[in-house]
Chains A and B, each alone.
Chain A
Amino acid sequence: MNILYKIGKGALTFAKYFSLVFFSFFAVLPVVSCFITAFKTDQEYQTTNVMTMPKSWLNFENFIQAFNKAGMGRAFLNSTIILICVLFFSVMIGTQLAYVLNRFKFFGNTIIRALFLFASQLPGVAMQIAVYEIMYNLGFINSLIGYIIMMCGTDIISIYIYIQFFENIDYSLDESAIIDGANYFTIFYKVLFPLLKPAIVTSCILKGVGTYNEYYCANLYLQDKNKYATVATSLYTFVGPLGSKYNLICAGVIISLLPALIVFILCQKQIYSGLTAGAVKG
């Protein structure tokens, strides 16, 4: 009986780790194979199997070439500008909105929440048909500023993260500030905003990764690929004449996902908790 139990338990543990290793293997395999290929010279790439290791792990030739060919210097600059502006404004806008929605009861409070919730249900690709016309009329095609303004709109998930956080900040703080003669503006910026820091970090990471990876709208509205490429759209350079030089393409892909990888390794916990917070509330 005891032995049977032990065997059963052992088998269960084995099955557990086997499935973890198996699925992790499949999760990393595509990226790892890309990584391997990125270090191969043209000759190696043509003659060896994709899964053989490269001769030298110090062959950065492909990375340099991919970086130059795709104009990634420019792309990183653009992406950084977009990222900073979008994060700054969306945090400002989002926290303010969450503050009003959480601290004040007024007619329309629930309506506004419902409007944001409903907006998140609309598939973005379909909406762009009409957004394109608006962007065109506003003169926002091929304009970084236009793209940034479009991306600044807050999304329901960050609003939920902020509101959740506001709920945990005691209302007596506001009250004592009011007694001291502060107006809503000062309360928000001097008292509440500094307290919101963890929530802001979480939503910034989520929004930041999303903005950095956004390519559909970037491709649609920033059509001049020399001037206004972002990191995601700069990879498009590899479609076409370079389409079969996968050692080069893989190097480009690896460069483009490095920032996301670094952020992920540094901020795993915030990413997980942010996702969960947003989803549970939604």
Chain B
Amino acid sequence: MFAFMIVPLLLLFVFTYLPFGKMFSFSFYNMKYVGARKFVGLKNYIKVFQRDDCFGALKLSLYYMLGSVVQLSLALYLATILSFKVKGGNIFKGFMFFPFLINGIAIGFIFKFFYTRGFVFDTVLQWCGFQLDNLPYWLRDQRINNFSLVGTSVWRYFGQNMVLFIGAIMSVDAELYEAAMLDGANRFQQFKYIIMPSIKTIITLNVILSITGSLSAFEPPYVITDGANGTGTYFVVMHQIAHTQQKVGLASAMAIVLLLIIFIATILQKLFFKYVFRSAEDEDPRAAIRRERAVARSIKKLEKKSAVGGK
């Protein structure tokens, strides 16, 4: 029976935990993949914080965080619409989900084409009445190019988030909606009191995932601009340092620093959500007791009244 587990655990060890350990030890050396290595202690870590291109690149993840807020709210909005009866709902869903299944390189080309001066995006904006001369260069203008890249990542993933949310909303008992309708709740109230509480977990999960995701944003800048013009996120810089410049030690230190940041962020978020949700649940029993007492009091009053009236 344990023979069943040898292969998967071996693979897990060789390709995940062994490299994890190795990376940790690399981060203390000045080394390339081949050749001599020199122990340098914490120097690599100090460099990570000193070099502009390393730590400064983390600022870019703010763009991606903003993007993921847009992405999640958009996904939630569309999921709410699509989980009620909509004509052609499946087709809309399919259209919006499909980008998730396209490979990263193809997306890179599609969006290079999309954003090129005078091409697709500019044409569409011109239909809407914009002048070409007033439009910026989407991928070259440093003020705007990160937003363009974040746009591609929103485009790619919002459909997938939407499908997850739809799945969660669908798992809500349909009778709840009927009951709410009978009680006269409108769509917004239904959303707030029925849908939101029941998909709380999956939203929490996605928020956590999207924040770690934006810290480790990699694909859009890697394939579309290759990190040029100030779009190099932390991982793009790390990739260049590791595989182009072969400074493996420094890159490992970068990876470890980011992993630490991600873990701290995750733990903080978990605590935050736990606190928020627990305080909501804590109030419930007390409120329930108060309500019971109030009911009991009013019943007593009624009894008294009826008793008085009886006399």
Contacts and interface: CB of A to CB of B under 8 A. Distances in A.
Given A279-B202, A280-B202, A133 B106 contact: no
For the residues of B in contact with A, the DSSP-based class is: helix
Given A24-B95, A264-B98, A129 B23 contact: yes
A125 interface: yes
Given A97-B4, A153-B8, A215-B104, A129 B109 contact: no
Interface of A is mostly: helix
A169 interface: no
B17 interface: yes
B190 interface: no
Interface string A251-262: 011001100110
A213 B111 CA distance: 17
Interface in A220-270: 220, 231-233, 235-236, 238, 246, 249-250, 252-253, 256-257, 260-261, 263-264, 268
Contacts of A125: 216, 218, 235, 238-239
A4 interface: no
Contacts of A214: 103
A51 B123 CA distance: 7
A97 to B, nearest CB: 5
Contacts of B74: 23
Interface residues of A, number: 85
Contact of B113 (A16, A37, A263, A271): A37
A131 B114 CA distance: 35
Given A29-B120, A115-B17, 19 more contacts: A17-B87, A27-B98, A31-B102, A34-B113, A100-B2, A119-B17, A126-B255, A127-B16, A129-B248, A129-B255, A134-B18, A153-B8, A153-B16, A232-B106, A249-B109, A250-B109, A256-B106, A260-B101, A268-B90
18 contacts: A16-B86, A21-B92, A28-B98, A31-B99, A34-B110, A49-B123, A96-B4, A97-B9, A116-B12, A123-B212, A127-B23, A133-B248, A153-B15, A232-B106, A246-B116, A264-B94, A272-B163, A279-B202
Interface of B: 1-2, 4-5, 7-9, 11-12, 14-20, 22-23, 26, 33-34, 74, 77-78, 81-82, 86-87, 90, 92, 94-99, 101-106, 109-111, 113-114, 116, 118-120, 123-124, 155, 159-160, 163-164, 166-168, 171, 187, 202, 205, 212, 216, 218, 235, 238-239, 242-243, 248, 251-252, 254-255, 258-259, 262, 266
